[in-house]
Amino acid sequence: MVNSDLNYLAELLYKESLCRDIDQLNNTTGRLYNIHHSDKHNYKIIDFEFINIDKIGKSIPMETDDLKILFSICIHFKEMDIYTVSDPLIDLKFNIELFGYVLNDLYPEGTDLHSSWHLDRHIFDKLDEENKFSHPHYHFTFGGNKMKDALGKFNYGQSLILPTPRIAYPPMDAILGIDFIIQNYYNKNKVKNILTDSEYIRIVGGAQERLWKPYYMSIFSKWNCSVSENIEEAFNYSKLLPFLHSNSIA
């Protein structure tokens, strides 16, 4: 199912001029294979390019132009047990990199611009008790290693970039990552044909069912004891939202 879904998304993105090259997304289906057991799978997408990004709101610098996004994901997932609410993923590396170009008084010869978002899957261990900051199981972080790697190439001026906060967010695969980019970086009028496409809606809905349903069911178990009986300990709400108080206030 994931194979055909990714193929359909690739054709749809190309048709609507959101990317120039869909080979990598199509070829991903050839690398989608079982790992040791038939219920475990993985795939990888590296630097899949989105073009014609819209400037929604004010960018900094304001004169930023030639926007593009590179999307990368390495994901290892499993088939879900219908009787247990557990983590749908085994491993996840998820990066969204934004690139632009500016020509203004500060940069009269022009300069490249770069930022990134990283969706992280935290690996819990005995050192977690020593963490000084909240560490949701799945969380978005601005910057991440992609910006660290770029420090030698880009001048960040007087920018202040901190590694926190870690923003709790449900897990995403390539399908939900593509939808995230479309929903956040394109004017809705430009992508109306995609967002209203019945097959696109089915594909995204299916991915949300696989990855988001267990995530939100685990959180909901905080207030519903009948649900909590089926939650895998490693995926309970205290791991997903460590700042959620364990006892309700009457």
Identify the pLDDT of residue 145. 62
- Percentage of the chain modeled with pLDDT above 90: 42
Report pLDDT digits (tens) over 50-66: 999 988 777 778 888 89
Report pLDDT digits (tens) over 87-141: 999 999 999 999 988 888 888 888 888 888 999 888 766 555 555 666 789 998 8
Mean pLDDT of 61-74: 90
By C-alpha distance, which of 48, 86, 78, 79 is closest to 174?
48
Band of residue 36 on the pLDDT scale cut at 50, 70, 90: very low
Mean pLDDT of 166-191: 94
Its pTM stands at 0.85
SS3 49: strand
**Does the structure show a pLDDT above 50 at 238?**
yes
By C-alpha distance, which of 181, 175, 173, 177 is closest to 201?
175
By C-alpha distance, which of 149, 148, 190 is closest to 15?
190
The average confidence (pLDDT) of the chain is 83
